[in-house]
Amino acid sequence: MEIQYRRILELHDQQHSQRSIAASTGNSRAKISDIIHRAEAMGIRPPFDTTVSDDELAQRLFPELRPEAKGREVPDYEYMHKELAKPNVTLTLLYYEYEAICRRSGTAPYSYRTFCRNYTEYAQKFKATMRIRRKPGEIMEVDWAGSTLTLIDRDTGEFVKAYLFIATLPSSQYSYCEACLTMKTEDWIRAHVHAYEFFDGVTEVLVPDNLKVGVTKLQSAL
């Protein structure tokens, strides 16, 4: 009898007992228990995307049964997904680690391109989102906002033009804004200091937009 992986996990998520799941799907309670335990260990649970089939769930839950696994080492995509959340971990680094595992076990590795494609497919089908390349606290993006602001001098009533400095942590989209009276280097640097004080820390990388105060362009004398 064909195993209904998707329905088993969906019924389990709805708090149905394994006895009732067995009656509904026609699959044995032992098999249902095995599927549920593996899914819980791998963090696989409903709701699933409409494109996720029983065959895909079977390949993920029981990789040792995949024909391709006989000749190649199947990567642990769940482990990869967790590792990519850590600072300085990339798919390239994980691929080197994967190749080392293959050498020790005497199995053939996938190519780097296939390795990345398979992880992307896994993340899109079984996870709400893929890991982004920018890690928390790694990058701060800075720029002047496109539009200027207008301040009112409370003493004179005069309208004064102000320029809005914006710093953003792209992983969380947490942002800091500051109005400056000029876009000179002094204001630019001061705003950075205030941004880091606001975030209570310093990022590894600072990414300015293509603006004159933040980027120096070397020109040839020829």
- Examine the fold and report which residue of 92, 126, 160 is the final residue of a domain before the chain moves on: 126
Residues 90, 158 within the same domain: no
> How would residue 222 be classed by pLDDT, with cut points 50, 70 and 90?
very low
Q: How many CB atoms lie within 10 A of CB 41?
A: 10
Provide CB contacts within 8 A for 57, sequence distance 6+: 5, 6, 9, 44, 48
Q: What is the pLDDT of residue 155?
A: 85
122 and 177 part of one domain: no
Q: Are residues 161 and 185 in the same domain?
A: yes
Whether residues 73 and 119 fall in one domain:
yes
Domain co-membership, 49 together with 110: yes
Q: Is the pLDDT of residue 138 over 50?
A: yes
CA dist., res. 96 & res. 31, Å (int): 35
Residue 147 token pair: 């539009």
Domain limits for position 15: 5-126
- How many distinct structural domains can be found in the chain? 2
Q: If you average pLDDT over every residue of the chain, what do you get?
A: 80
Least confident of 91-105, 136-150, 204-218: 204-218
Q: Tell me: do 17 and 104 sit in the same domain.
A: yes
